[in-house]
Structure 1
C-alpha cells in the first residue's frame, strides 16, 4: 500500500487547479484504472465513487483557487507542488494512513521538468504546516516523482481520476453561478465556449469574473479586445 498523487486543471483560465492523493494497494483498485484523460467522464465518476466507498482506500483532495494562482509571488510549478502536498497531508490524516509503518511511500506525477527536484520539494512541502512551520504530527514520507506516472502507476492514475472528477464538479457548480450566460465550457483557453463566456461577461461588466485566472494571457486578450471595441464604437 502506498500513496499516489496528481493534479488536474493546471492550464485552464477558469476555475481552480485540483490535486488529489489516493492511498491504496494496487490490488484494491478497479481493474481499468488509467490516466483520467483516457477515460470517459461516466467511467471516471464511477471509479471515483468506488474509491471513496472502499474500506481500504483513503482519499485526500486540495483546491488551488484562482486568487492564489494569480498571486505575483508564486508560479505554477510551486502551486502544483503545494497543491499536491496539501492533498497528501489530507490523505495522511486518515485512519488508514495511521495503520501504516513509516515512512509512507509517495509516488507523484512530476509537475516540474526535473523529477528529482519535484520529489524533493514535495517532500519538503508535505512537512510544512499552514503557517509555514514544520508539521510534527504527520508520518514520515518517502517521495518519488516521474513524468507520466498517471499512465504508468495505477495508484497515481486513481489520484488523477479523483482530481479530474473533483474539478469537473467544481466547474459545474461555478457554471451554476452564472445563469445569465450559455455556459463556461471546459474552462480551457482553447475552448470556444469558454472564450465566448469571457467575452460576454467582460462586455457586461467591464472585468473578468471571479472564477477567472486574471493573470492568464487569455484574460488580457479579452479585456484588450473589449477596450478596443469600445474605442471603435466611440
Structure 2
C-alpha cells in the first residue's frame, strides 16, 4: 500500500515537498494523523519511527521555487509531478496507491499521477534520480485522504518534516546575514511579511527563496516602489 501527500503548496517562501510511503499497514503508528494536526515534536518522532522501520519505504520530492515560478506550469501540475516523483521512488509494479487529491476532480488527478509514475521520473529519499521504465500503479485520489488513510497521513508527516527542515535551514542562513528570521514562509505570517519587507528595503529585490510569481511578492515590490514598505 502506498500513500502520497504534499506540504507547502501555499507559502511564498521555500519549496513544496511531496512525500510517499510504501508500507505494511501494521507498520504505520496508530496515532499517525494529518500532519497539520500534530505538534512539530510528534511529527519528528513519527518521521523517525517510519524511517527506522524496515517494513516502510520512504521517498520525498522537493519542488523548487524555480519550478514553481516557471510560467509554463501551474500548481496543479506541480502537485501531480511532486507526488508522482515521490511515489516513483518507492513504487513497485502492481502497487495500489492512495493520494491526497490536488485537483477539484479526484479522478483526473489520480489518472495524471498514475501516468506520471508510469513515466518513471522519480527520486529516492537521498535526492538521486530513479528515472527508468516506471511502474504500473493503481492510483486513487481523494480530497482529505490524509484524514482517512493512515498511509497518506504518514506521507503527509514525511513531507511536512522535510519542508520544515528546509525552512529551518533557510531561517538560519538569513539570521547569519542579520535578519530576524523568515517565519513559516506563509503570506499570513507577520514574521514572513516583515522579512520580505526588510529584505527588499535592504537589497532592492526579492530573496532567492521567494516564489516571485506569488501576489505577495508583487505587493512588497509595489510597496517598495511607492516607498511605502512600512505599510506592507
TM-score normalized by the length of structure 2:
0.91
Aligned residues of 2:61 and 2:86 also touching (Cα < 8 A)? yes
Tell me the residue number matched to 2:17: 18
Tell me the residue number matched to 1:65: 64
In the alignment, the residues of structure 1 paired with residue 85 and residue 54 of structure 2 have an alpha-carbon distance, to the nearest angstrom, of: 22
In the alignment, the residues of structure 2 paired with residue 216 and residue 137 of structure 1 have an alpha-carbon distance, to the nearest angstrom, of: 35
In the alignment, the residues of structure 1 paired with residue 69 and residue 4 of structure 2 have an alpha-carbon distance, to the nearest angstrom, of: 23
Tell me the residue number matched to 2:141: 145
Q: What are the residue-to-residue correspondences of 1:1-234 with 2, within 5 Å?
A: 2-92=1-91, 97=92, 102-130=93-121, 137-179=133-175, 180-229=178-227
In the alignment, the residues of structure 2 paired with residue 136 and residue 217 of structure 1 have an alpha-carbon distance, to the nearest angstrom, of: 37
CA displacement at 1:30 relative to structure 2: 1.0
CA displacement at 1:129 relative to structure 2: 4.4
1:32-75 CA-partner distances (Å, limit 9, x unpaired): 01000000000000000000000100001000010100000000
In the alignment, the residues of structure 2 paired with residue 139 and residue 75 of structure 1 have an alpha-carbon distance, to the nearest angstrom, of: 25
Question: Tell me, which stretches of 5 or more residues in structure 2 are unaligned?
Answer: 122-130
CA displacement at 1:230 relative to structure 2: 7.2
Question: Tell me, which stretches of 5 or more residues in structure 1 are unaligned?
Answer: none
1:165-207 CA-partner distances (Å, limit 9, x unpaired): 0000000111122121001000000000000000000001111
Aligned residues of 2:118 and 2:133 also touching (Cα < 8 A)? no
Q: Secondary structure at the match of 1:55?
A: coil
Q: Cα RMSD over matched residues?
A: 1.4
CA displacement at 1:25 relative to structure 2: 2.0
Count of residues in Structure 1 that have an aligned counterpart in Structure 2: 218
